[in-house]
Amino acid sequence: MIVLGIETSCDETAAAIVTDAREIRADVVLSQLDDHTPYGGVVPEIAARAHLQHLDGLIRRAMAESGLGFADIDAVAATGGPGLIGGVIVGVMTAKAIAAARGLPFVAVNHLEGHALTARLTDDVPFPYLLLLVSGGHCQLLVVEGVGQYRRLGTTIDDAVGEAFDKTAKLLGLGYPGGPLLEKAAALATNPGRFDLPRPMVGRPGCDFSFSGLKTAVRRHVEELGTPLSAEDQADLAAAFQATVAEVMADRCARAMRRFKETHPQGGALVVAGGVAANKTLRARLQKLADREAMPFVAPPLRLCTDNAAMIAWAGIERFRLGQTDSLDFAPRPRWPLDPTAKPAIGKAGVGSGVKA
Ligand code: KG4
Ligand code: ZN
């Protein structure tokens, strides 16, 4: 089975071709970074226009790289949400057009499910598993029981963790996109233990997250130090922020692991996914925790953590194999929670179903 996947939900335009033998035949991603950098963040209207401009060329490139023709494709999958709606519409309409023209099945993929199932593409991880989903719009702990079967154990009550990285990077004067720049700055720290930041939620019952207090603490330090910060201050603060986030994550995951083990005595892996999963300090901290808890730990390769279309093609394969295709009437969904039964977190309604994934 060979599936063409399309991703257009945020600021990456991407197309990929993946087989049910877990083979990535092509995987092309075009970052719109240069289009958005002057504005310090993603501008939805610019993103939608850029997807429109580049998507057909990227699909052509993916087809050429794979050495396949449209006659070899068995289904077309596109991100159907959640995300910036203009971009999602571009991807969905393109996929529907190809499906209609070629008489192929169409699968509308939940972008979050794309992240969630990536570890099955890369490492063949069996269900069930415990998933830490950390991206620009989400920060959730979920039990993944199967395709389309998610139980949320925790979510953020304010900012998503990627958002916290991005905002903190801005406060430090590091620019956009915050996550990778902050990680780079932290690597240059000469005194990573210099700042002691609060660890929101650590030790509290439950598996929820909070990051706004941490961000405020960084802001106070920045104000005390005075802007622009020296490179040394930037690096030390970045290192403190990153280490604190990793500690918070480890604490929340440890609690989720306990709950997972109670409900799933047969065991399962700890999996991390989403853009923030590219962070090496976080990966190392989670590996240490998983070793302590005797749970396998799976983190996809860095390029499959950040947004890509291989994960959308793969989720399309998983759904298609189960006969779960969508009609050409499918309407793009700006919001699309993985666990629709989970209540909105206290503090910020709708966080679990946010607009960015
Ligand atoms: O999953 P993703 O590519 O897009 C969304 O669906 O949101 O995640 C993007 C987020 C951004 O907030 C970005 O700053 C963060 O992931 N990110 C990182 C790193 N690489 C990307 N955060 C920390 N460390 C990184 N290396
Ligand atoms: Zn994403």
What is the Cα gyration radius of the chain? 20
Helices (H), the chain: 33-36, 44-66, 85-102, 111-123, 161-171, 178-186, 212-225, 231-263, 280-292, 302-305, 310-321
Residue 264 buriedness (CB in 10 A; 0-12 / 13-18 / 19+): middle
If you measure from the C-alpha of residue 169 to the centroid of ligand 2, how many angstroms do you get, rounded to a whole number? 19
**Do 114 and 311 form a contact (C-beta atoms < 8 A)?**
yes
Parallel, antiparallel, or unpaired: how do β-strands 139-146 and 129-134 relate? antiparallel
Residues 6+ apart with CB under 8 A from 297: 269, 270, 271, 272, 286, 287, 289, 290, 291
Q: Is the C-beta atom of 183 inside 6 A of ligand 1?
A: yes
Ligand 1 lined by 166 (C-beta under 6 Å): yes
What pLDDT digit, counting tens, does each position of 317-329 carry?
999 999 999 999 9
- What is residue 268's three-state secondary structure? coil
- How far is the centre of ligand 1, averaged over its atoms, from the C-alpha of 274 (Å)? 7
Position 177 scores a pLDDT of 85
Assigned token pair, 340: 């629709």
219-259 confidence digits (pLDDT tens): 999 999 999 999 999 999 999 999 999 999 999 999 999 99
Q: Please compute, for residue 250, the number of CA atoms within 13 A of its CA located in the half-sphere on the CB side.
A: 20
Q: Distance between CA atoms of 238 and 243, rounded to whole angstroms? A: 9
Low-confidence stretches of the chain (pLDDT < 70) are 346-357
Is residue 275 lining ligand 1, measured as CB closer than 6 Å?
yes
Residue 114 Cβ contacting ligand 1 at under 6 Å: no
- The number of angstroms, rounded, from the C-alpha of 345 to the middle of its chain's C-alpha atoms is 19
Per-residue pLDDT at 302: 97
Tell me the residue length of the chain.
357
Query: Is there an atom of ligand 1 within 6 Å of 307 CB?
Result: yes
Ligand nearest to the CA of 356: 1
Atom 3 (ligand 1) nearest CA: 306
Confidence (pTM): 0.95
* C-alpha of residue 73 to centroid of ligand 1, in Å: 31
Atom 8 in ligand 1: which residue has the minimum CA distance?
275
Angle at 339 between CA 9 and CA 152, to 5 degrees: 110
Question: 81 in ligand 1 pocket by Cβ < 6 Å?
Answer: no
Which pLDDT score, from 0 to 100, does residue 356 have?
Answer: 39
Residue 346 confidence (pLDDT): 67
Ligand 1: which residue has its CA nearest to atom 1?
A: 275
* Residue 94: predicted pLDDT: 98
- Gap between the Cα atoms of 293 and 280, Å rounded: 20
Within 10 angstroms of residue 248's Cβ, the number of other Cβ atoms is: 24
For ligand 1, whether the C-beta of 279 sits within 6 Å is yes
Contact 354, 338 (CB under 8 A): no
Q: Which ligand is nearest to the CA of 300?
A: 1
Q: Is 139 in the pocket of ligand 1 (CB under 6 A)?
A: no
Judged by its nearest atom, the ligand closest to the C-alpha of residue 276 is: 1
